[in-house]
Amino acid sequence: MSGITGHTVTFLCPYPPHHSNNTMFLCKGNKRSNCTDMAYQSRFMLHNRTATFASVMITNLEAEDSGTYWCRSDLEWGVGNYTQFHLSVEKEQSDTSAQPKMKGEMVK
Number of domains comprising the chain? 1
Cβ contact 47:55 at 8 Å: yes
Return the bridge partners of 88, or none.
2
% of the chain with per-residue pLDDT over 90: 37
Q: Which class for 13: exposed (0-12), middle (13-18), buried (19 or more C-beta within 10 A)? A: buried
Q: Name the residue range of residue 37's domain.
A: 2-89
* pLDDT class of 4 with cuts at 50, 70, 90: very high
- Residue 103 is assigned to a structural domain of this protein: no
**pLDDT greater than 60 at residue 7:** yes
Q: What is the 3-state secondary structure (H, E, C) of 25-60?
A: EEEEEEECCEEEECCCCCCEEEECCCCCEEEEEECC
- Residue 101 is assigned to a structural domain of this protein: no
Q: What is the pLDDT of residues 54-107, one digit of tens each?
A: 889 999 999 999 999 998 887 777 766 788 999 999 998 865 444 433 333 433
- Residue 26 is assigned to a structural domain of this protein: yes
What's the pLDDT score for residue 80? 66
**pLDDT greater than 70 at residue 20:** yes
